[in-house]
Chain A
Amino acid sequence: MKDKMLEVNNLSVGFFTPDGTLTAVDGINISVRKKETVCLVGESGSGKTVSALAIMRLVPNPGVVTSGEIIFNDENLLKISEEKMRALRGAEISMVFQEPFNCLNPVFRVSGQIGESIEIHLGLKGKERDEKIIEVLKLVGITDEKRVFSSYPHELSGGMRQRVMIAMGLVSNPSLLIADEPTTALDVTIQAQILELLADLKEKLSLSILLITHDLGIVNEIGDRVYVMYAGKIMEKGSKNEIFGSAKHPYTEGLLKSVPDLGPVKKRLYTIAGNIPDLTDIPTGCRFHPRCPYVMDICKMKDPVESMFSKEHSAWCFRYFGGEQKNG
Chain B
Amino acid sequence: MKDQILHKGQKVLGKLIRNKLAFLGAFVIFVLSFLSVFAPMIAPFNPEDQNIEERLLAPNSKHICGTDELGRDVFSRMVFGARVSLAVGFIAVIISAIIGILIGSAAGYYGGWLDTVLMRFVDIMLSIPTLFLILMLTVYLGPNIINVMIIIGLTGWMDLARLVRAEFLTLKKREYVLAARVSGASNGRIIFKHILPNALSPVFVSVIFGVGGAILLESGLSFLGLGVQPPDASWGNILTSGKDYIERAWWLTVYPGLAIFITVMSYNILGEGLRDALDPRLVE
Contacts and interface: CB of A to CB of B under 8 A. Distances in A.
Interface of A: 56, 58, 86-91, 94-95, 97, 99, 102-107, 116-117, 120-121, 152, 154, 165, 168-169
A168 B183 contact: yes
25 contacts: A56-B182, A86-B184, A88-B184, A89-B184, A90-B182, A91-B184, A95-B179, A95-B182, A97-B175, A97-B178, A103-B175, A103-B176, A103-B179, A104-B179, A105-B176, A105-B198, A106-B4, A106-B6, A116-B180, A116-B193, A117-B183, A120-B185, A121-B184, A152-B4, A154-B4
Contacts of A56: 182
B6 A58 contact: no
Given A107-B6, A117-B184, 5 more contacts: A56-B182, A86-B186, A104-B176, A121-B184, A154-B4
Given A105-B198, A107-B6, A99 B183 contact: no
The interface centre, meaning the residue of A87, A97, A107, A116 with most chain B CB atoms within 10 A of its CB, is: A107
A91 B185 CA distance: 11
Contact of A168 (B178, B179, B193, B194): B179
Interface string B197-236: 1100000000000000000000000000000000000000
A132 to B, nearest CB: 14
B178 A90 contact: no
Interface residues on B, range: 20 to 34
B172 to A, nearest CB: 11
Nearest to B173: A60
A156 to B, nearest CB: 13
Nearest to A114: B183
A80 to B, nearest CB: 14
Contacts of B197: 105, 107
A114 to B, nearest CB: 9
B115 interface: no
A99 B198 CA distance: 19
The 6 closest A-B pairs by CB, nearest first: A90-B183, A90-B184, A102-B175, A89-B184, A103-B179, A105-B176
Given A107-B3, A107-B7, A107-B198, A116 B185 contact: yes
B20 interface: no
A22 B60 CA distance: 82
Contacts of B184: 86-91, 117, 120-121
Contacts of B175: 97, 99, 102-103
B13 to A, nearest CB: 17
